[in-house]
Amino acid sequence: MKESVFQPILGAFGEFGGRYASELLHRPLAELARARKEILPTPDFQAELQAELRRWAGRPTPLTYCSRFSRDIQLEVYLKREDLLHGGAHKTNNAVGQALLARRLGKQRLIAETGAGQHGVACAMAGARYGFDTTIYMGAVDVERQRPNVRLMELCGAKVRAVTEGAATLKEAINAALRAWTEEATVAHYLLGSVCGPDPFPSLVADLQSVIGREARHQMLEAAGDLPDALVACVGGGSNAAGLFRGFAGDPVRRIGVEAAGEGLHTRRHGATLARGRPGLLHGARTYVLQDEDGQTRDAYSLAAGLDYPGVGPEHAHWHETHGAQYVVADDEEALAAFEHLSRREGIVPAFESAHALAFCRRAVREGSLPRGARVLVNLSGSGRKDLPTYFARYADRGDHL
Amino acid sequence: MSRLVLEQTLAGNTPLFSPFFLLGDPTPEISFQILSACLRAGAPMLELGFAYSDPVADGPALQRAAIRTRAGGTTVDGAFRLLSRLRSVSDAPFNLLVYGNLLHARGAKRFCRDAADAGASSLLVPDCPLEENERLAETASAAGLAFCDLVGPATSAERLRRIGTRVTGFIYRTGRQGVTGRGGSADALADVAATVSATPHPVCVGFGIETHEQLEAVWGAGARIAVIGSALARRIAAVEHCLTDPASVNTLIEGMASRVRAAVDASQRAKGD
């Protein structure tokens, strides 16, 4: 791949990243890249952002030591509680930051895509608070499986557009949002929800999510007197993992991202882009992509709507190739067992997405991935409330998995 | 070499009409018949797309066309076979529009070589802009393809100049700020003249062009090539459920040919103005 004609220039993470977007998006992307450099780091903007994250979004989120869950799995497990952030997931960090930037840029409208609906909810809430006219594009399949979130977005005044093309999930929602942004770039900001897409989005979203890792590092030192041995986070697009990992830059800590194996890597029903994809272009970035021989994107699948994305943030692709982080998988069944396990032992109901990170931890000692007693910091990126209808409808009668 | 026929075609100053189709839409065989009929009807060149799973520059008509084309069995190899077959019956320039990942997956060098071997004249990659396309432009040129690039109504004169330094074919100016297939705005079309006067390259206009008034506005503004795509794809969509009926297919092909003939006639009238 060193010989690829596609060597990203803008926002490159080694061989990955870049700005592979239509010329028609040049102006808004260049404008946003400037805002990231010239507005985001200013004390004035940071003060506004931090105040909003504190007073409106509920930061800092706690760090919770899980004694009963830890005992069961022979690890020392600390959870960074992004499920307690306003909106129920880490997505709010990014939505607040980008919405405030968009306001500085004089935009009147927000466009966003959503998969699980968590990013859509965060955008709808931020849109309401900061006075934007907000439109959320969501795959029709996701609209069905995440009804409570759709209602919540509408309650906060956002318009939800169901996208019916293709597999009608996150990939198609991003396509639709990019098209809408091309039409309305002068008045609208595209509030992309993960560390994907054309430059500057992967960098901007990681900047805004790095508050997770910075806080958690401080809290870990306070609670345990030392750094964790390993960081574990689920990876769809990869924003919660990037936000956690970035806070520990330079620290001697293992970074482990958990992708969705769905119904198994031997099937095509999974979302394990780094495990089963290869480098290519998707949604404006050079990154790993689930694709066929011709370069047609394959549909991804996971029980967790936030993980069924056939691409992955380009920085993760870079970490994957340079061993800056390690990527493993957990399947639907493992995630579901972890979902039930944490609920019963700790009274914390994780999002199906976050349950993938816990699922890896549950088997880590047994399979020799982590030493017994290792101190592990897991990003509990979201609350499982949104998943309850799916859980009760499909799984509640299948017996005890503990 | 097919690149030369593009240069020869663009050497004059006559207004040109070019239909756009996805190679293989709706099936390889019917696509060949439609494209040959368009050439027989006088189309001086063809814009030809490769169906891709995530065509973010395209509106509903061409998104649907991409799904239909892939369902009809056209792979990237199949598109190249179709292109070769067309080349065997025509000397017209064939200009390719291909999303970047199809080049990436095949290897851009191999893709460009295969395209040139199959008879393509030029290449445009809509999702690989100025900042990222230097090596791509070199690769296309090395394979013998003219390199074309996209600009929009909002592209500044300075940026147009920089884009122009890399272009060896024509500048593809979108008729609107947005995706293909929605009505072009009169303002955006009027601004085509500014694009034409700001670049030494021939200008091609597509996206949102459908009516003869729009074609005439485009040529009147000094653009050399006017493209209609989505409106033709919608004609295929209208019969996509009765493709096994020969009468429907014949009607489609004849209708397409007469539509192209009318647009070519309009281009000749525009020349006389």
Q: Which residue of B has its CA nearest to A12?
A: B132
Cβ within 8 Å, pair A6-B108: yes
Give CA–CA dist A113/A107, Å, rounded: 17
DSSP 3-state of A258: strand
Considering only the beta carbons, identify the residue of A20, A294, A295 that sits closest to B127.
A20
A168 and A223 share a domain? no
Tell me if A273 sits within 8 A of A312, measured CB to CB.
Answer: yes
Q: Which chain B residues are Cβ-neighbours of A175 within 8 angstroms? A: 54-56
List of long-range contacts for A335-340, beta carbons under 8 Å, 24+ apart:
A335/A260, A335/A303, A335/A304, A335/A359, A336/A303, A336/A391, A336/A395, A336/A401, A337/A362, A337/A401, A337/A402, A338/A362, A339/A384, A339/A387, A339/A391, A340/A400, A340/A401, A340/A402
On the question of pLDDT at A1 being above 90, the answer is no
ipTM over 0.90: yes
Residue B6 lies in a domain: no
Any B CB within 8 A of A187 CB: no
Instruction: Answer whether A27 touches B (CB < 8 Å).
Output: yes
Mean pLDDT of chain A: 95
Q: Residue B54: which of A8, A171, A293 has the nearest Cβ?
A: A171
Residue in chain A nearest B179 by alpha carbon: A179
With 60 as the cut, is the pLDDT of residue A193 above it?
A: yes
Chain A residues with CB inside 8 Å of B173's CB? none
Residue A11 falls within a domain, yes or no? no
Dihedral, CA of residue A267, residue A271, residue A274 and residue A278, to nearest 10: 70
Kindly state the tokens that stand for A18.
């870049």
pLDDT higher than threshold 80 for residue A16: yes
Give the distance from residue B173's alpha carbon to the nearest chain A alpha carbon, in angstroms: 10
A312 phi and psi angles, rounded to 5 deg: -160, 155
Residue A66 falls in the annotated catalytic set: yes
A308 and A190 together in one domain:
no
pLDDT at B107 over 90: yes
pLDDT the model gives residue A394: 77
User: Does A16 reside within a domain?
Assistant: no
The count of domains in chain B is: 1
Q: Note the pLDDT of residue B12.
A: 85
Nearest by CB: A22 against B53, B102, B150: B150
A250 and A268 co-located in one domain? yes
Q: Is residue B67 part of a domain?
A: yes
Return the residue of A nearest to B184 by Cα: A183
Q: A182 and A39, same structural domain?
A: yes
Three-state DSSP at A254 gives strand
Contacts of A24 in chain B (CB under 8 A): 57, 150, 152, 154, 174, 177-178
Write the Ramachandran bin of A123: left for phi over 0, alpha for psi from -120 to 50, otherwise beta: alpha
Q: Is the residue at A20 inside a domain?
A: no
Shared-domain flag, residues A31 and A161: yes
Q: Does A96 touch chain B (CB under 8 A)?
A: no
Assign B241 to helix, strand or coil. Answer: coil
Residue A167 tokens, joined: 């597999």
pLDDT of the residue at A398: 62
Is the pLDDT at A234 greater than 80? The verdict is yes
Interface contact A24-B57, CB threshold 8 A: yes
- Give the pLDDT band (50/70/90) at residue B222: very high
Q: What are the residues facing B228 on neighbouring strands?
A: B19
Mind telling me how many Å the CA of A81 is from chain B's nearest CA? 35
CA gap A309, A124 in Å, rounded: 22
Q: Measured between CA atoms, how close is A178 to chain B, in angstroms?
A: 7
Residues A218 and A105 in one domain: no
Q: Tell me how long chain B is.
A: 273
Domain span holding position A136: 26-51+91-205
Which of A182, A205, A228 terminates a domain? The answer is A205
Mean pLDDT of A78-85: 98
Asked whether residue B113 is assigned to any structural domain, the reply reads: yes
pLDDT band at A122 (very low <50, low <70, confident <90, very high): very high
Mean pLDDT in residue range A191-201 = 98
Q: Is residue B84 part of a domain?
A: yes
Look at residues B20, B95, B33 and name the one whose alpha carbon lies nearest to residue B61. B20
Given a cut of 70, whether residue B124 has pLDDT beyond it is yes
* Boundary (domain end) residue, out of A176, A205, A234: A205
Of A21, A23, A293, the CB nearest to B105: A293
Cut 0.90: pTM above it? yes
Residue A18 lies in a domain: no
- Annotated catalytic residue: which of A86, A90, A316, A356? A90
Binned at pLDDT 50, 70 and 90, residue A402 comes out as very low
The pLDDT value given to residue A396: 62
Say whether both A255 and A384 belong to one domain: yes
Of B7, B25, B29, B47, the active-site residue reads B47
Task: Name residue B190's amino acid.
Answer: A
Q: Tell me, what's the pLDDT at A147?
A: 84
Count of the separate structural domains present in chain A? 2
Q: What is the mean pLDDT of residues B126-150?
A: 98
Least CB-CB distance to A280: which of B70, B101, B131?
Answer: B101
Length, in residues, of chain A: 402
Residue tagged active-site, from A66, A123, A156, A234: A66
Band (A144; pLDDT cuts 50, 70, 90): confident
Instruction: Give yes or no: residues A156 and A123 share one domain.
Output: yes
Instruction: Kindly tell me if the per-residue pLDDT of A215 is higher than 60.
Output: yes
Do both A217 and A319 map to the same domain?
Answer: yes
Among B102, B104, B161, B177, the strongest candidate for a mutation testing the A interface, having the largest count of A CBs within 10 A, is: B104
Q: Is residue A265 part of a domain?
A: yes
Six-digit token pair at B193? 């003249």
Among the ranges given (A176-180, A326-330, A393-397, B93-97), the one the predictor scored with the smallest mean pLDDT: A393-397
Average pLDDT over residues B5-26: 95
Contact A211, A93 (CB under 8 A): yes
How much is the pLDDT for A169?
Answer: 85
pLDDT band at A158 (very low <50, low <70, confident <90, very high): very high
Residue B184: its pLDDT value, please?
Answer: 62
Q: Which residue of A has its CA nearest to B172?
A: A23
Residues A110, A111, A117: CA angle, nearest 5 degrees: 110
d(CA A202, CA A40): 15
Any domain includes B77: yes
Instruction: Answer whether A23 sits within 8 Å of B67, measured CB to CB.
Output: no
The answer to whether residue B9 sits within a structural domain is: no
Testing the interface with B: which of A2, A4, A5 to mutate, by most B Cβ within 10 A?
Answer: A5
Nearest to A45 by CA among A204, A172, A227: A204
Which has the minimum average pLDDT: A106-110, A287-291, A323-327, B12-16? Answer: B12-16
Q: Evaluate whether A190 touches A37 at the Cβ level (below 8 Å).
A: no
Q: Does A184 lie in the same domain as A238?
A: no
Q: Structural domain of residue B209, as residue ranges?
A: 16-268
Facing residue for A297 by CB, picked from B54, B108, B151: B54
**Pairing of the two strands B122-124 and B94-97:** parallel
In a domain, B72, yes or no: yes
Chain A contact for B72, CB < 8 A? no
Residues A35/A100, Cβ–Cβ less than 8 Å = no
**Residue A182 contacts B, CB cutoff 8 Å:** yes
Same domain? For A175 and A83 the reply is no
Render pLDDT for A305-319 as a digit per residue (tens, 0 to 9). Answer: 899 999 999 999 999
- Same domain (yes/no): A154, A42: yes
Return the CATH number at B211. Answer: 3.20.20.70
* Domain termination site, one of A205, A228, A247: A205
Q: Number of C-alpha atoms within 13 angstroms, CB side, residue A351?
A: 34
Whether B4 is in a domain gets the answer no
Asked if the structure places residue A32 within a domain, the reply is yes
CATH at residue A348: 3.40.50.1100
In whole angstroms, what is the distance from residue B219 CA to residue A145 CA?
A: 50
Residue among B106, B131, B150, B204 with most chain A CBs within 10 A, to mutate:
B131
